[in-house]
Amino acid sequence: MVPPGDPQAVEAAVQPNTRLLFSEAPTNPYLYIVDLEQIVAIATRHRLRTMIDSTFATPYNQNPLDFGIDLVMHSATKYLGGHNDLMAGVIAGSTPMISALRQAQGVLGGITDPNTAYLLLRGLKTFALRMQQHNANGCALAAFLETHPKVRRVYYPGLTSHPSHAIARQQMRGFGGVVSFEIDGTLEQTSAFIDALRIPYIAPSLGGVESLVEQPALMSYYELTPEERQRLGISDGLVRYAAGIEDTDAPRAEGEMPGPSPADRLDFPDHFVEQVRSIVRQRTVAYQLRQRATLVLLLHTALLLSNVQAAAEVHLHPNAVRYGRRRWANGGFGLEDAPGRGRKVLCTSGLAAAVRARDLP
């Protein structure tokens, strides 16, 4: 493991048994960009294969194969699918390499089911249109946050302040919809800030039509101690916002965003939260329950709430559940009180179910 964007460190790390150079581009969560031409040059000198995870960039914004990279992978769950309702992956490369992978896949399995393939094809039909709006919303949000005194630092390769901006301009057509930033607050204040946002769902994913937000210290790196997170550079105030395709410039009335202002808890001015909300329109896509997802939901709720007699309402959302003003999907079993609204259930499959019932135990 070497720091991103340091080709000298990459070459120094090559050992006699090294066979592959692998990197994300952009990286998660700080969105550093590796110089693909330099990576290919190092690999050529040492007779190595190269592989880039280009999920955050997508084929719309970056094409590593054009720079001589051997293999490119994408999480199709993200931008390619675009609706947070499928799990799939894509790998691209030369015909001989992909043929070998196909043979291995035939032995090992991992075949996409027909319904997932259909959903992915549906997403690809609007891929280019969606990416235009993801790029626009990411740039708008990053530019706004960089000028605000309550934000310590913004990480977005489209900003001139980002260390990888020059490389990003050379090898990318757009900069994507993910913006990471550090607010001037504690771990608890950052959590309260995220809870107060009404547009995004709280979830550790990205690339869907609706905006998602997460606090890496409590989600992606929740199993680490504060000291371990600091060594990795994950601060308590870090927020990763994956902008959706909502209208960038649409203003909205206060009546569209009911609920108490977070300013009293956060010491954030009301206008700051309102401006953040005005970056994207509060228009989210309603998910329909599918037969497969319904079966998973019923299995989990039966295990956890076997003595529930009458559930009045069930909501399902891949990787994120909205329950009142608190939305979570952290991948583990658990119950949490929601005063006046029953309780919520967190399932292990990545699907989070919110069950509202009068007679929950």
* Domains of the chain (ranges, CATH numbers): 7-125 (3.40.640.10), 127-278 (3.90.1150.10), 291-357 (no CATH)
The residues near 53 (Cβ < 8 Å, ≥ 6 apart) are 22, 23, 24, 25, 72, 73, 74, 75
307 vs 283, more confident: 307
Provide the pLDDT for residue 7.
Answer: 84
Mean pLDDT for the stretch of residues 66-85:
95
Percent of the chain residues past pLDDT 90, beyond the cut? 53
- Reported as half-sphere exposure (CB side, CA atoms, 13 A), residue 91 has a value of 13
Provide the pLDDT for residue 249.
Answer: 65
Model-level pTM?
0.69
With bands split at pLDDT 50, 70 and 90, how would you rate the model's confidence at 360?
very low
**Dist. CA 143–CA 158, nearest whole Å:** 9
Q: In this structure, are residues 215 and 239 in contact, taking their beta carbons and an 8 Å threshold?
A: yes
Q: What is the pLDDT of residues 152-184, one digit of tens each?
A: 999 999 999 999 999 999 999 999 999 999 999
Provide the pLDDT for residue 6.
Answer: 82
Average model confidence (pLDDT) across the chain: 75
46 vs 3, more confident: 46
Provide the pLDDT for residue 352.
Answer: 33
**Dist. CA 189–CA 268, nearest whole Å:** 10
Q: What is the pLDDT of residues 13-65, one digit of tens each?
A: 999 999 999 999 999 999 999 999 999 999 999 999 999 999 999 999 999 99
The residues near 273 (Cβ < 8 Å, ≥ 6 apart) are 196, 197, 261, 262, 263
* The token pair that represents 266 in the structure block: 């956060």
* The token pair that represents 4 in the structure block: 């991103």
CB-count burial class (<10 Å; 0-12, 13-18, 19+) for 149? exposed
Provide the pLDDT for residue 65.
Answer: 96
* Distance (Å) of CA 76 to CA 54, 56, 288: 11, 11, 20
With bands split at pLDDT 50, 70 and 90, how would you rate the model's confidence at 138?
very high
H helix runs in 4-56, sequence order: 7-13, 36-46
Q: Is the pLDDT of residue 252 over 50?
A: no
Provide the pLDDT for residue 207.
Answer: 95
**Dist. CA 293–CA 213, nearest whole Å:** 23
Provide the pLDDT for residue 357.
Answer: 33
Q: Is the pLDDT of residue 66 over 50?
A: yes
